[in-house]
Amino acid sequence: MAIAQARTGDGEPPKVSLLYNPALRSYVYQILTLVLIVWVVWYAWHNATQNLARANMTSGFGFLNSRAGFDIAQSLIAYTSDSTYFRALQVGLLNTLVVAACSIVTATIVGLLVGIGRLSHNWLVARLCTVYVEIFRNIPPLLVIFFWYLGVLALLPTIRTIFQHVKDNPGAIFFISNRGIYMPAPIFGDGFGLVVAAFVAGVLAAIAFTVWANARQRATGNRPPVLMVNLALILLLPFVVFLLMGMPLSFDYPVPGSFNMKGGMVIGPEFLALYLALSLYSASFIAEIVRAGIRGVPGGQTEASYALGLRPGPTTRLVILPQALRIIIPPLTSQYLNIIKNSSLAVAVGYADLVAVGGTILNQSGHSIEIIAIWMAIYLSISLLTSLFMNWFNAKMALVER
């Protein structure tokens, strides 16, 4: 039964007042909320600057151009004590990004393997994975960091033992001690930039070829040799360019000095403790996410795969995991954000991350509000970018009805 729409005398539908327009009201509410947030931020900043002026304390970010006056043990870019505070913050930011990125990759791999292992039909494997999850998931991450820093890495051989090892094995190039892992440092010569460009071009070409191969497989049922072609593009192409450019790469090897190793590069125990703690701690949560995602796939998918002749390994890799990703990705995003934020615990072991470097600058300059504002802005930006990427990836993995 149709319901007739009320009309005016001339046959036109009645005009709805702008006050009752849902679309207009939603925009008005959003604008008012934005104005309120901007006003609160401005009022807080204005109030803080007035209080600082009343206490004869300067405000603003001009202090970032002042001389830092302190050294940083691990730096991915050129830095000395004569560098500026701004350069020191750049060093801390890069250190934070490196330890967070390495921890995310390792935690994802370990969590995936442990999550699958918990569902294994092998009793020993399943129980070992369960013990791993229950242990690391119920210990605070700070204690895990102390465990690796004070309980494991501190017990490694001393530097005197390394010196004796060098005398006994003059050809050794890697050394592990309680001061870190010493290894050769690469020295890039002229023309190495072309090798990097060839590698990037190979990666892009491999992605394009994979997309084309998938489309061809859907259209014809035949799949080109994707693995071999991608390996040739990613590995063989840069290697050929490397040879044509005269192999523009050499190494600086670590050798014993007066009190420590000199030359080469070193991965300090502070980085190792933080990296191992964040990776193994977060992997326990990721393992549970993976297990829940696999459990969320209907059991009929596994039975159908077995009926088609697939073995358990290919079934998990090609059938179960692609469907489980739609369940895994949203909570996995939260774990990635936790890893990024938990990297600030580096200050407990003296690793020069963003918080540790910023804390030193805060103590020297007294600009606490500015430093805290920088911390908040950087962590917020990193978290939003991570969420944006994971949301995009989640949308790509979503089922599309045709």
**pLDDT at 98 exceeding the cut of 90:** yes
Residue 80: helix, strand or coil by DSSP?
Answer: coil
pLDDT at position 3 is 45
Most confident range (mean pLDDT) of 57-61, 128-132, 237-241, 398-402 is 128-132
How does the average pLDDT of the chain come out, rounded? 86
Q: What is the pLDDT of residues 282-298, one digit of tens each?
A: 999 999 999 999 888 88
Q: What is the pLDDT of residues 200-212, one digit of tens each?
A: 999 999 999 998 9
pLDDT at position 16 is 57
Asked: is 85-139+270-397 a CATH 1.10.3720.10 domain? The reply is yes
For the chain, the structural domain boundaries read: 25-54, 85-139+270-397
pLDDT at position 17 is 63
Buried (b) or exposed (e) across 81-96, using 16+ Cβ within 10 A? eebebebbbbbbbbbb
pLDDT above 90: percentage of residues in the chain: 42
What does the pLDDT average to over 368-372? 87
Beta strand 255-256 with 249-252 is unpaired
CB-facing half-sphere around the CA of 304: CA atoms within 13 A = 8
pLDDT at position 4 is 46
Gap between the Cα atoms of 48 and 370, Å rounded:
11
- Cα dihedral 206, 207, 210, 215 sign: negative
- Cα dihedral 386, 200, 398, 101 sign: negative
What does the pLDDT average to over 309-323? 81
- CB of 261 closer than 8 Å to CB of 255: yes
pTM summary value: 0.81
pLDDT at position 401 is 59
Q: What secondary structure does DSSP assign to 12-56, as a single string?
A: PPPPPPGGG-HHHHHHHHHHHHHHHHHHHHHHHHHHHHHHHHHTT
pLDDT at position 379 is 94
Which of these ranges, 45-59, 109-123, 245-259, 355-369, has the smallest mean pLDDT?
45-59
pLDDT at position 9 is 52
**pLDDT at 1 exceeding the cut of 60:** no
pLDDT at position 128 is 95
- CB of 258 closer than 8 Å to CB of 163: no
Query: How is the chain split among helix, strand and coil, in percent rounded to 5?
Result: 70, 5, 25
pLDDT at position 220 is 85
Adjacent-strand bridge partners of 180: 177
Gap between the Cα atoms of 51 and 57, Å rounded:
9
Residues 6+ apart with CB under 8 A from 357: 72, 88, 89, 91, 92, 95
Most confident range (mean pLDDT) of 21-30, 49-58, 350-359 is 350-359
Gap between the Cα atoms of 117 and 287, Å rounded:
9
pLDDT above 70: percentage of residues in the chain: 94
Gap between the Cα atoms of 135 and 203, Å rounded:
39
**pLDDT at 5 exceeding the cut of 60:** no
What does the pLDDT average to over 156-179? 79
pLDDT confidence band for 139 (50 / 70 / 90): very high
Which of these ranges, 33-47, 49-63, 85-99, has the smallest mean pLDDT?
49-63
CB-facing half-sphere around the CA of 48: CA atoms within 13 A = 15
